[in-house]
């Protein structure tokens, strides 16, 4: 496949680098107290985030210069490795348990989260398969069901960890990709209803998930237990005001906010930098989303269109859910803020996705 190339979308590259550098600052600011208390090193999380960001940057540059359509030849190995890792993480002695969840594979501080690889793996698998299907996508049993079976297996393994938010992300991204590929509206609407009902069942079946849902509806009813996280996040955001209390001067990071360097880092941003700092982050993400979907719409082939759509949708959903959680707009769930939250697997895989998106942009007419 030969197409004329041009420079990548530097606007997206700038936005991603700005978010990543800003994330470094906020990871240190939000984690220094916790790092010193647990590891006697205020720079503990920052040093690890720097290492992962360098690896992520290298991965981004590699994929930015690796012609995206060549990825199709690795479809089967990607699916095999994806499922193998999701199985391995469930095996005692291989998968690491943290906070009652078995989501990581690795030794010591060097860990890998298979669900992050599964997110990208599913996008590539769906894009390859749906491009081959063509107009058969209009048929539910021939065009959609085979992909739903694979998605169900992947999400089932992820739910065993358990990691409901990752399974929901993959499910929602799958629906968007199917829609862009040409699936019928009636099929998408039916799948959306079934998926919502299934998510509700999964929430009700687990007492801790049900407590989170009830606490979201009225966090002040139980402020020291189920509603604690939401209330502390709102305290942080509320105390920031317009310009914030000052960089590094957060009070909520002193063991009030749970995991301030990961899931609730946006709360620290709002507290230290105020509305203006939070708005800066949101505007950068909105700019990224706009450019990402423009690349998807202008991609020269269906595979590129679906991959760009899947990557942009996945990052968009993670951003929206994270902000919605910390602002008490949805129930609390573990969702890192892309490019900003502390986390090696998440940062490296997300920057790899951006590299693929930038490579696709070389063959579009987006200006």
pLDDT in tens, 259-308: 899 999 999 999 999 999 999 999 999 999 999 999 999 999 999 999 99
Coil vs helix vs strand at 152: helix
For residues 269 and 85, the answer to whether their CB atoms sit within 8 Å is no
Res. 199: pLDDT tops 60: yes
**H helix intervals, 160-206:** 164-181, 185-205
What is the number of other CB atoms lying within 10 angstroms of the CB of residue 181?
Answer: 22
Domain count, the chain: 1
Which pair of tokens denotes residue 258? 């749970």
pLDDT, average across residues 43-56: 94
Residue 157 pLDDT grade (very low, low, confident, very high; cuts 50, 70, 90) = very high
Whether 5 is in a domain gets the answer no
Residue 105 belongs to what H/E stretch?
strand 101-107
What domain range includes position 42?
A: 10-361
Residue 367 lies in a domain: no
CA distances from 315 to 75, 142, 281, 310 (A): 21, 29, 14, 9
- Does a structural domain hold residue 92? yes
The mean pLDDT of 208-228, rounded to a whole number, is: 76
Average pLDDT value for residue range 145-168: 92
Residue 284: CB partners within 8 Å, gap ≥ 6?
Answer: 15, 18, 19
2 in any annotated domain: no
296 phi and psi, to 5 degrees?
A: -60, -45
User: With 80 as the cut, is the pLDDT of residue 253 above it?
Assistant: yes
Are 86 and 160 spatial neighbours (Cβ–Cβ below 8 Å)? no
- The residue with tokens 């305290």 is 235
CB-CB contact of 293 with 184 (8 Å): no
The answer to whether position 366 is within a domain reads no
pLDDT at residue number 74: 93
Q: Is 229 within the bounds of a domain?
A: yes
Query: Are 237 and 327 in contact, with CB atoms under 8 Å apart?
Result: yes
Tokens representing 266? 């946006």
* Residue 122 included in any domain: yes
pLDDT band, very low/low/confident/very high, at 203 (cuts 50, 70, 90): confident
Give the whole-angstrom CA distance, residue 354 versus residue 59: 9
- 112 by DSSP, 3-state: which? strand
Q: Is 250 within the bounds of a domain?
A: yes
């Amino acid at each position: 496949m030969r197409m004329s190339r041009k420079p990548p979308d530097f606007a997206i590259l700038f936005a991603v680098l700005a978010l990543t550098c800003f994330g470094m600052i906020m990871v240190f600011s939000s984690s220094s107290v916790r790092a010193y208390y647990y590891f006697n090193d205020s720079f503990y999380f920052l040093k690890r985030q720097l290492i992962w960001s360098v690896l992520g940057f290298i991965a981004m540059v590699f994929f930015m210069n690796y012609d995206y359509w060549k990825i199709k030849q690795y479809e089967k190995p990607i699916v095999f490795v994806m499922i193998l890792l999701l199985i391995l993480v469930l095996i005692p002695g291989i998968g690491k348990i943290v906070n009652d969840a078995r989501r990581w594979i690795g030794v010591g501080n060097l860990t890998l989260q298979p669900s992050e690889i599964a997110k990208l793996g599913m996008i590539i698998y769906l894009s390859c398969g749906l491009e081959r299907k063509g107009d058969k996508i209009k048929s539910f049993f021939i065009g959609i069901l085979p992909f739903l079976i694979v998605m169900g297996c992947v999400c089932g393994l992820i739910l065993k960890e358990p990691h409901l938010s990752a399974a929901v992300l993959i499910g929602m991204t799958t629906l968007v990709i199917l829609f862009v590929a040409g699936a019928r509206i009636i099929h998408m609407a039916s799948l959306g209803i079934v998926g919502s009902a299934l998510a509700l069942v999964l929430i009700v079946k687990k007492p801790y998930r049900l407590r989170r849902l009830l606490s979201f509806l009225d966090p002040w009813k139980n402020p020291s237990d189920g509603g604690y996280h939401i209330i502390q996040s709102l305290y942080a955001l509320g105390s920031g005001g317009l310009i914030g209390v000052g960089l590094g001067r957060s009070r909520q990071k002193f063991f009030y906010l749970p995991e301030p360097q990961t899931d609730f880092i946006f709360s620290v941003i709002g507290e230290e930098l105020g509305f203006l700092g939070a708005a800066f982050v949101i505007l950068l993400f909105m700019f990224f989303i706009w450019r990402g979907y423009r690349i998807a719409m202008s991609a020269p082939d269906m595979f590129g269109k679906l991959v760009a759509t899947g990557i942009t949708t996945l990052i968009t959903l993670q951003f929206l859910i994270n902000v919605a959680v910390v602002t008490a707009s949805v129930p609390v769930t573990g969702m890192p803020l892309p490019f900003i939250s502390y986390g090696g697997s998440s940062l490296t895989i997300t920057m790899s996705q951006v590299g693929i998106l930038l490579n696709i942009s070389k063959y579009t007419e987006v200006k």
